[in-house]
Amino acid sequence: MKTGKAKRKKIIFKQLNFQKMTNLKSKSAQSGGNLEETKSKSSQNGSTLKGVKAKSDAAQGLHDLFVDGLKDIYWAEKELTKALPKMIKNASSDSLVEALKSHLEETKMQITRLEDVFSTIGEKVAAKKCEAMAGLTKEAEAIMEDTEHGVVRDAGIISGAQKIEHYEIATYGTLASFARVLGEDEAASLLEETLNEEKAADVKLSEISDSINVDAADEDDEENEKEKEKSNKLATSTKEK
């Protein structure tokens, strides 16, 4: 009897092992199929990615890229001379107004300096629309529309102005580097002069923002206090009724 039971156990054990092996092989085959399917999809997706087609007048070398960059920032600075007066008109802080007026005059000089850069490298002065500056000035105007006149709008104006400064710092730094590599040392020096002015303007705005941001936060506290008083009055009125 014991021998018969032992044999049956062995048979059952073998059957279970066989079933496990079959299941493992099946899962392995499915995984392999899924992997191939994933590879296939990845390959298909990769085939749909296309390179950007260059324009007919695309830059052929670093010099061309450099000149394109000059045209771009030249347009940007001219656009900024239109945007800054709007910021000045909407600012309430005397220190902010003074800083923006100072940078407006500085921007006008930077435009003249860019014209000198074109001259030193033997290129005709030209402007090409800067989509980045167009977007930044539009955003700055939107911030002013979305805020009440006062310290909160001042904080918004500084936010928009510093975004512009950071873009200009990146641009002038890149162009100055291009000029050095191309051996245009005079142009590089002129661009670095403007770069330093942009950095100084950004630092000035940061200093002004320290006090304005605190005042803007106080406005929030005052507004919250007013809302609390209104709620208390409404609650008291409701109880009396």
11-25, 45-59, 130-144, range with the lowest pLDDT? 11-25
Residue 52 falls inside a structural domain:
no
Q: Which two tokens stand for residue 153?
A: 């709008």
Residue 20 falls inside a structural domain:
no
Residue 77 falls inside a structural domain:
yes
Residue 93 falls inside a structural domain:
yes
Calculate mean pLDDT across residues 97-101.
98
Q: What's 172's domain CATH number?
A: 1.20.1260.10
Q: What is the mean pLDDT of the chain?
A: 84
Distance between CA atoms of 216 and 159, rounded to whole angstroms?
A: 13
Instruction: Give 27's pLDDT tier (boundaries 50, 70, 90).
Output: low
- pLDDT at residue 54 in the model: 82
Range of the domain at 97: 62-213
Instruction: Give 141's pLDDT tier (boundaries 50, 70, 90).
Output: very high
Domain count, the chain: 1
Calculate mean pLDDT across residues 15-26.
57
- pLDDT at residue 32 in the model: 54
Residue 27 falls inside a structural domain:
no
Residue 10 falls inside a structural domain:
no
**Each residue's pLDDT tens digit, 186-202:** 999 999 999 999 999 99
